[in-house]
Structure 1
Amino acid sequence: MRKKLRNSMLYLLAFLVVVTLGACSHEETEHAEGGTEYTCPMHPQIVQNEPGTCPICGMDLVPKSGHGTAVEITEDLAFLLRPTNTTVVSSVATTKPQEKTVQAAVEMEGIITYDPRRVYTVPARVGGRIETLFVKYNFQPIRKGQKLMEVYSPELITAQKELLYLVQSAPEDKQLIEAARQKLRLLGATDAQINRLIRSGEESYTFALYSPYDGYVIGLNTAAPTATPSTAGVAAASTGGGMGSMGGGSRAGATAGSSPTPPAEDVQLREGMYVSTGQPLLRVINPEQLWAEFNIPAGEVSALAEGAPVQITFPQLPDEALEAQVDFLQPFYGEGENFAKVRVYLPGQQKLAMVGQLVSARASYTAAPALWVPKTAVLDIGTRSVVFQKVNGVFEPVAVTVGTTEGNETQVVEGLQQGAVVAANAQFLVDSESFIKVNK
């Protein structure tokens, strides 16, 4: 009987132990289930407290492990975890940048223009009325000493009478006579006209004006004249000498750019119209000396200097080149342009060169010592240029600053070190900045 009672007590104790352990296990399970977090395997930023699906890709969420030892991110593991668009694993030919000095050249396109130092303005030295006009149309050729017009001027008549009076009444007063002669010279009279006046002894009521230059007339009577003869469209052309350009040249401040004719307002001349002192009468261009004006990219202008050799080719003679040199570099950029101007004088009298003609040129210069790589090793992705440098067996895009390109080589100004290994052909990647992630 005692034995049965003892066995019953043992069975009861075992039952109580099993019940107690089951209750503890259930509480731990409930506690664990209540604290479990769920995340998306593809989008770890998605975290929820209950099972479900990813709102981005639709995959089932899995429990997020909160136990165990944290994984140590070693250098090799960090390399494997890098984004796929930062490195490229490929078997391509490689090359190393070479530091050297290269004889480079820049291609330029330009136009033949006037030499602005040979653009002259002929103003009126005295006011009066044009009686006879011998230059009547635009681009009319004239030569030095050619009669341009005959004018009636009360001021010239008075000056002639003063000289004749002194010659006839006081021939011994050489000083006064010379002063009267000089006054006529300043009014535009030549020595031949003054000597003829003294020989004839009679003043002339119309006085002839002669051209002091060779060339042809531009900007003359190309627009309708105004209604008032005395103010008939007088052009305020830029003159260096004002009234004195009848006796010497004045530089026109206009430079010929895209237009073959220097920019200036038209001059209107008609027989019977009145002109005032200092009014521009004619603009004359001497085409014996021409120059070519070229556009050069902004990145190339610093490489050129005055005296750099230039080979100019004409469309009608593509196999022949005219040897010249850079004479002037424009020190500023025009509004809205990204090109500088280079001016080259054409040596001698070029019979093939015509004003307004388009020409090509090749300017040579010695590039500064720099690193040079094959042209195919540089990839232009629009906003920048990159090369693919080999690091630890893979290729990484590296942003570089490139200079000039000569032949099959490109100058790398910044971004590469000597001894670096780069892909010889960078075109194996898609030309898209969204794909190529460049480390800044």
Structure 2
Amino acid sequence: MKTKIMNIIQNRYLKYGTILLVGLLLGWLIFGGSSGEVDHSTHDHSKEGAEKEVWTCSMHPQIKMDKPGKCPICAMDLIPLKTSGGGDEAIDHNAIQLSKEAVALANIQTSVVSRQNPIKEVRLYGTIQEDERLSQSQTSHVNGRIEKLFINFTGETIREGQTIATIYSPELLSAQQELLEAVKMQGYQPALLAAAKEKLRLWKLTDRQIAAIEKSGVVNPLVEIKATSSGIVTSKKVNQGDYIGQGSVLFSVANLSRVWAMFEAYETDLPFLKVGEKLEFTLQAMPGKSFSGTISFVDPLLDPTTRTSKVRVETANPGMQLKPGMYANAIVTAALKQFNNEIVIPKSAVLWTGKRSIVYVKQPNGESPAFLLREVDLGPSLGDSYVVTGGINDGDEIVTNGAFTIDASAQLEGKQSMMNNDGSSVASTGHNHGTAEHKEHKGEKSHEMFKVSGLCEMCKSRIEKAAKGVKGVINANWDMKAKVIHLDFDPKQTSKSKISKAIAGAGHDTELDKAPKSVYDALPSCCHYDR
């Protein structure tokens, strides 16, 4: 038995196997524990760098919790807002950050703004009308009865000198007899003949008619009425057999060789319409064809019902193509010389809040899309766009589609938005009872006021934000008219001097401190006050 054991020990394969097993055991003992520690350490660090999720209430966006639960105000379930980690340090803390997927889903579009010479398009609507100066009334110059009418309907064309009616007139009959008697006495009373002829001329008898009476020696109880102008009969006032008096209107006649295009212009468009300017218009009755004319008159009075003023354009009417009553459309392009080299943005980029006009500017140099609210000062409307006189700079990239979606996200996060001017919804509502800021409000409070320079709503927002950024400030309100800021703060944590320095550091001079020139120069042009 002993001999067998010795043989087994001396077996070289068994020796090699034993050595291998011992080596593996020693390797596990030496390196196994340390590798486990490395893995464990790596695992812990990944947990430390994990982003924490923020939960909020859809009805009360000022509520923010680090875990799910119920809203302390309305008891609704909290919803995830966004992760608190992974922020981009290059992005303003007031900006709204969205993922690239969210931007694509909301169809958010941006464009880079630039300066240009704005052109305003004014659209006008109106009708073709007859030129009132070329319209005449065909009247009777004698009393009598219409024996025959040669014009029987409106729209008929007449020519100057054409017989339009025959009238029986006792007065004309007597005047003809006076003419014949004067002819007999013309040898010794020539003035009597001249007076008789002039009387007939005043009744609009032509020299040819008077000569015919004088030559025939016979009076005619009927006299012909001749047209005094050419044109279109627009109104027929009498019928055959009617008795008429001197001055009675028989027909209204319009000369349509020239017509008016009468347009209605809103009061906001009147500054861009000048007498003497050329204007092109089209007719619905003749699509594809344009006509031109000159603005000859702009009514100084507004219609109180339509709030419009009439704009008259004179134009020739060859071939009588333009007929009164036709609908006309015109587009006037006016260069706004007083707004040359100004920024122009689409109307879709602007959100209205009543007193404020805001846009969202895309933040540069960010890893993820981020947008910051900016208040702008608007100039005149250009139809589908606005002139911007302040608030954004040349080269800024603004949101032109989807701005309302971004603003809704800002409201949910309690940041500055259309409905929240200063972005301090938590402080103003006081619902977030767990914050340190709310606890500060319970302490001692001091009130101070001092003058601060500024001009616009953007200045107001910047001044109040700088003041509220000082620890211990409870409330800050800058009066734009009086140029005075009212402060409520905890005197144990801050002072009037510290708050003044913070406001000056934001670019606004106070009665205690002056803003650095470099900071002041960096402000938007609309915020540059007199220093």
Distance verdict in 2 for CA 1:55–1:363, change over 3 Å:
closer
Higher helix share: 2
**Residue 287 (structure 1) aligns with:** 256
Alignment of 1:8-407 (within 5 A): 57=74, 89=96, 93=110, 95=112, 98=115, 100-220=116-236, 267=237, 269-315=238-284, 317-370=286-339, 371-376=342-347, 378-379=349-350, 381=352, 386-388=357-359, 395-396=372-373, 398=375, 400-405=377-382
Checking the alignment, whether the CA contact within 8 Å between 1:397 and 1:437 is kept in structure 2 is no
Rounded Cα–Cα distance in structure 2 between residues aligned with 1:94 and 1:317: 39
Q: If the length of structure 1 is used for normalisation, what is the TM-score?
A: 0.61
Letter of the structure 1 residue corresponding to residue 358 of structure 2: V
Question: Among 411, 420, 436, which residue is 2:387 paired with?
Answer: 411
Rounded Cα–Cα distance in structure 1 between residues aligned with 2:185 and 2:375: 95
Checking the alignment, whether the CA contact within 8 Å between 1:312 and 1:360 is kept in structure 2 is yes
Q: Secondary structure at the match of 1:429?
A: helix
Q: If the length of structure 2 is used for normalisation, what is the TM-score?
A: 0.51
**Residue 14 (structure 2) aligns with:** none
**CA deviation map 1:26-80 (0-9, x unaligned):** xxxxxxxxxxxxxxxx9xxxxxxxxxxx998489xxxxxxxxxxxxxxxxxxx99
Gaps of at least 5 residues in structure 1 are 1-41, 43-53, 60-78, 81-86, 221-266
Letter of the structure 2 residue corresponding to residue 181 of structure 1: K
- Percent same amino acid at aligned positions? 23
CA RMSD of aligned residues (A): 3.8
Rounded Cα–Cα distance in structure 2 between residues aligned with 1:384 and 1:308: 36
Within the alignment, does 1:423 sit opposite 2:398 as a pair? yes
In the comparison of the two structures, how many residue pairs are matched? 315
Q: Secondary structure at the match of 1:425?
A: strand
**CA deviation map 1:276-300 (0-9, x unaligned):** 1222111111222122112223211
Q: Secondary structure at the match of 1:369?
A: helix
Rounded Cα–Cα distance in structure 2 between residues aligned with 1:380 and 1:158: 84
Checking the alignment, whether the CA contact within 8 Å between 2:353 and 2:418 is kept in structure 1 is no
Checking the alignment, whether the CA contact within 8 Å between 2:125 and 2:328 is kept in structure 1 is yes
Letter of the structure 1 residue corresponding to residue 386 of structure 2: T
Rounded Cα–Cα distance in structure 1 between residues aligned with 2:391 and 2:216: 87
Distance verdict in 2 for CA 1:385–1:290, change over 3 Å:
farther
Distance verdict in 2 for CA 1:170–1:93, change over 3 Å:
closer
Rounded Cα–Cα distance in structure 2 between residues aligned with 1:196 and 1:438: 95
Checking the alignment, whether the CA contact within 8 Å between 2:118 and 2:387 is kept in structure 1 is no
Checking the alignment, whether the CA contact within 8 Å between 2:161 and 2:229 is kept in structure 1 is yes
Q: CA deviation at 1:323?
A: 3.0
In terms of mean alpha carbon deviation, does 342-351 or 122-131 score higher? 342-351
Q: CA deviation at 1:382?
A: 9.1
Checking the alignment, whether the CA contact within 8 Å between 2:352 and 2:358 is kept in structure 1 is no
Rounded Cα–Cα distance in structure 2 between residues aligned with 1:317 and 1:382: 44
Of structures 1 and 2, the one with the larger relative CO (CA 8 A, separation 6+) is: 1
Gaps of at least 5 residues in structure 2 are 1-59, 61-70, 77-91, 99-108, 364-369, 412-416, 422-456, 458-531
**Residue 33 (structure 2) aligns with:** none
Rounded Cα–Cα distance in structure 2 between residues aligned with 1:286 and 1:337: 30
**CA deviation map 1:317-342 (0-9, x unaligned):** 53332232222212222231022222
Checking the alignment, whether the CA contact within 8 Å between 1:299 and 1:403 is kept in structure 2 is no
Rounded Cα–Cα distance in structure 2 between residues aligned with 1:217 and 1:366: 43
Distance verdict in 2 for CA 1:365–1:93, change over 3 Å:
closer
Q: Secondary structure at the match of 1:302?
A: helix
Rounded Cα–Cα distance in structure 2 between residues aligned with 1:287 and 1:332: 27
Checking the alignment, whether the CA contact within 8 Å between 1:101 and 1:369 is kept in structure 2 is no
Rounded Cα–Cα distance in structure 2 between residues aligned with 1:177 and 1:418: 90
